[in-house]
Chain A
Amino acid sequence: MLWYVARRLAGTVGLLVAVVVITFGLIALAPGDAAQVLAGQAGDPQYLAELRGQLGLDRSLGYQIGSYLLAVARGDLGFSIVQGQPVLDVITGRLGATLLLGGTSLTIAVLGGVYLGVVAAAKRGSQLDTGISLASLIGYSMPVFWLGQLLVALLAVRLHLLPAGGMSSAGEQLGAFERVLDVLRHLILPAATLSILLMALVVRTTRAAMIDVLEEEYVTAARGRGIREGAVLFRHALRNALRPVITVVTADVGVLLSGVVLIEAVFSWPGLGTLLLDSVLSRDTPTLVGLLLFSSFLVAGANLLGDLLYMWVDPRVRLR
């Protein structure tokens, strides 16, 4: 088990090194560089050269990649001149907002999605099932940013029920408790939008897995012993149906991340997504590389977590 985790982690490090190489290669291929962005359109050539020297841009690509990797190994993701602070600080400064949004949405999506998926599978072929399946197909096909817009237009702009964007109300003196409530009010719309997308995925997976499991003999046996249907569904069948759900949820962290970027843009949520967008617009290369590395790390970590959870739910699974 420990050996397995160690080997997987080593593999992940290899992948992350490759991600760094690709990102640097991509940025090196692109016309223009960070020094030009800093110096402005009509930069003085001498100043440009000086900046390049400072940023290490005059070195070979291999040297740049190598020194970056060494720095990363020491926990240093470089310095963002645009933001005026180390990239690691920039990222951790925004991480909380994104974790709050992503974590809330994921929790709602998993709880609601598993429940709806079980219900749909239990009533397979009924109108309820058709309704749930159709809704999840549509939810899955919906562009999240448009969904967010519709909700803003309806609930914020028209009905004035909820704030349209941001994470907190500006300029108001609030106590600690009111501040928490204020953030929660701002969280409702973006979290609801994001969780609809994710829930659609979870519903589809859970329903499919439950349909398989419900046909197995041990379920019939459990019913035969007179166990209540609710307990059969949620205690006996769901445990086995959870495996593919775990796979899909942990494997779709990439989907979650891209959803987060779009949702944060719609709701001006001050997290990693808006940071990414700002860095793209200002061509803040160190932050971009850091963010891409960080999100690849998240995806790889989630995949590993998924495999471990998988083994925990089903001890029969032997990891190679």
Chain B
Amino acid sequence: MIARLDRSARSNPRLLVGLVLLAAVALAALAGALVASDPFRTSETVLRGPSVHHPFGTDNLGRDVLDRVLHGVGTSLKVSLLAVVAGTVVATVLGLVSGYAGGAIDDLLLKLAELFQVIPGFLLALVAAAAFGASLLLLVIILAVIFFPRTFRLARGEAIGLREREFIHAARAAGARPVRILTRHILPGALTIVLVNASFQAGTAVLIETGLSFLGVSERDTVSLGAMLFDAQSYLEQAWWMSLFPGALVAVTIVSVNLVGDGLQGLRDVRAAGGVGPERPAPESGQGAATLERLAVASSLGDSTKTQKGEA
């Protein structure tokens, strides 16, 4: 996997640029956790523009915007990573088993996925956060629930597509147990599309996290880029830097994961076109169809895209 990533990064500028940007964002978050000073320390120097002492200026309470931005991006990454990993692992396992085995449980899980696709995810997150009080853990859980249906359907679709292929029949005839077939034969085939999906969902998670805290629904003692933008709203006239830097960082973070998603999708296309790996047949006409498939994967905030035509 790593070797393949390395090889394809060279022929895949989107993936490369995305990974570099993402690494920069992650470094910023690391700097926030390790080097930056207390993001809550107030001072007399309020609403100062960028200077040597405060490269990103200070806010209405005299807090250093750079310190806060570095801590804020850490919050976004943490929430996004936890939610996407949790949601992806659970949904992929259930999706693969459900698609491979079929039956009543498959029907039930599919109904459940359908249900959560009708409820607009962002609104659900807003209501839940308001009801339970905002906490990062709750946000992670809700995001994972919001992300469940799409990942589940993708993994399930892959399992159904692969289930009747000859090499699976061969493995079964050779006496391989279902667990082995799923982990050794079906999972590798589904992995790329699941990863593509996960990277787009990581972007959505950042959008929802910052969006909610922008609306005032966030933990009080964590710094969030969204909450910083909410503060900035009242000072647009005096202090543009209060809005510019946090917002730009949110945008760069999301652009980077979306580029990675685009790039990974490119990997999948290359493999599919070359007939390598247990992919479903290559799209009829190269890039276009694949882009569509990716778009189907990449619904933004609401994650409410319905079943694609022809899916399983």
Contacts and interface: CB of A to CB of B under 8 A. Distances in A.
Contacts of B233: 149, 266
Interface string B194-215: 0000000001000100110011
Q: Is the interface of A mostly helix, strand, loop or mixed?
A: helix
Given A140-B300, A266-B233, A292-B119, A261 B292 contact: no
Given A145-B211, A146-B243, A204-B291, A19 B126 contact: no
A254 B127 contact: no
Interface string A289-320: 00110011001100100100010000001000
Contacts of B175: none
B279 interface: no
A317 B309 CA distance: 10
A23 B291 CA distance: 36
B123 A261 contact: yes
A9 to B, nearest CB: 13
B278 interface: no
B127 A283 contact: no
Interface residues of A, number: 67
Interface in B185-238: 203, 207, 210-211, 214-217, 226, 229, 232-233, 236-237
Contact of A150 (B203, B217, B247): B247
Nearest to A137: B258
A214 B43 CA distance: 61
Contacts of B306: 247, 251, 303, 306
B126 A208 contact: no
Interface stretch (B52-60, B80-88, B94-102, B280-288): B280-288
Nearest to B203: A141
A261 B128 CA distance: 16
Contacts of A281: 130, 216
Interface stretch (A25-33, A54-62, A92-100): A25-33
A263 to B, nearest CB: 11
Grouping DSSP codes into helix (H, G, I), strand (E, B) and loop, the B interface class, with mixed when no group exceeds half, is helix
Most chain B CB within a 10 A radius of its CB, from A23, A201, A254 = A254
Contacts, number: 194
B205 to A, nearest CB: 12
Interface string B101-117: 00000000000001100
Given A137-B262, A255-B304, A261 B207 contact: no
Interface stretch (B3-11, B158-166, B249-257): B249-257
A280 B127 contact: yes
A255 B299 contact: yes
A143 B210 contact: yes
Nearest to A253: B304
A18 B116 CA distance: 10
Nearest to B124: A292
A152 B240 CA distance: 11
10 contacts: A15-B115, A18-B115, A143-B226, A208-B291, A211-B285, A247-B305, A254-B302, A259-B301, A261-B123, A296-B118
Interface of B: 114-115, 118-124, 126-128, 130-133, 203, 207, 210-211, 214-217, 226, 229, 232-233, 236-237, 240, 243-244, 246-247, 250-251, 254-255, 258-259, 262, 284-285, 287-289, 291-292, 295-296, 298-306, 308-309
